[in-house]
Amino acid sequence: MVAKKDAAGHRIVTAAALIAVAFGIGGCSSNDDDEMPALVEESSSGEGALEEDSGSVDSYDDYTGVYDREFYDDVEFYVGTEVTVSAIVDEVISPNVFTVIDNANSDEQTEDPVDIDEVVIEPLLVVHEQDIPGLAPGTPVGVVGTVREEFYLATVENELGVDLDDPAFERWEEQAYIEATEAGAMTAGS
């Protein structure tokens, strides 16, 4: 069981890293072709770097991995840092805002949507300035963005230049969230 879960977790992290690489290469422009985006270098550095800093109480280095209990419990340590997270879409609030969850059965790689009733941790809000196609509850998703300490509707609307439906966001006020720079639904071929 542990080996199966570790292998599935590795596939999810690998898929998230591939998405990050694709978004990083496609979204970065540089006159120096030999210089790779920082996101690519960090994702290829391995998990050892993440483990070395796990004892720090001030902050953690950038995070690449799944949205799970450990990330949820430590989210305040990632405030202000870029993270690459793979998770399951919980609720699509608007075309550019959704929540993600971990799932007890997410170690099984299937094309079927995940059963939302199997959620084991609280959802996390993700906000992107552009619409994200292919989002639906239960869909695996990859997110690259910066963890923000507290969601304030007026501030987010102003900073991202978006108009959000106020009543839909009342429950998220003062909660941590991810301000996404890249996000997309992951398919079986990702």
pLDDT surpasses 50 at 30: no
Round to whole Å and give the CA distance between 40 and 159: 27
* Class of domain 2-185 as given by CATH: mainly beta
Least Cα distance to 81 among 101, 46, 53, 44 occurs for: 53
pTM here is: 0.63
Percent of the chain with pLDDT over 70: 57
Question: Rounded distance, CA 29 to CA 33, Å?
Answer: 9
Looking at residue 112, its pLDDT comes to 54
Q: What is the pLDDT of residues 94-128, one digit of tens each?
A: 999 999 998 644 444 445 555 555 556 889 999 99
For 130-158, write each residue's pLDDT tens digit: 999 999 999 999 999 999 999 999 999 89
